[in-house]
Amino acid sequence: MTHGSTYCIVLTATASPQQAEALARQIVQARLGACVQTQPIKSFYRWQGVLWAEPECRLAIKTRTDRFAALTQFIRAHHSYETPEIVQIPISAGSSDYLRWLDAGTQEPDL
């Protein structure tokens, strides 16, 4: 099933698995992502003129594109990094059942 850019995966990374788990739980609880997967990675990057090689934990957040702005704001407010990675990858197609589940998981609760 094709849905253009209605859905996306948002990537970010944290300094530890504990930070990743806390952020993932908060994102799902806030309904900004239907699912957040975490995995340990090692990042090589330049920051303030210094080359770093650090263990991190990547978060892959499954959400809708219309939730991206709110998710970006949430990540910035709850992240320990000065400049956290926030990258949106469009989902161009997916199974109907999964995308319906993703919709339900990111629907704002009725007030």
pLDDT for 1: 44
Look at 92 and 57; give whichever has higher pLDDT.
57
Contact in structure between 10 and 88 (CB atoms under 8 Å): yes
Does the pLDDT of residue 33 top 90, yes or no? yes
Does the pLDDT of residue 110 top 80, yes or no? no
Question: What single DSSP character describes residue 82?
Answer: S
Separation between Cα atoms, residue 48 and residue 38, nearest integer Å: 27
pLDDT for 97: 94
Domain ranges of the chain: 2-105
pTM higher than 0.85? yes
**Tens digit of pLDDT for each residue in 95-106?**
999 999 999 999
What angle separates helix 68-78 from helix 17-29, to the nearest 10 degrees? 140
**Tens digit of pLDDT for each residue in 63-81?**
999 999 999 999 999 999 9
Q: What is the mean pLDDT of residues 35-64?
A: 97
pLDDT for 108: 80
2-105: CATH, from 3.30.70.120, 2.102.10.10, 3.30.200.20, 3.50.4.10: 3.30.70.120
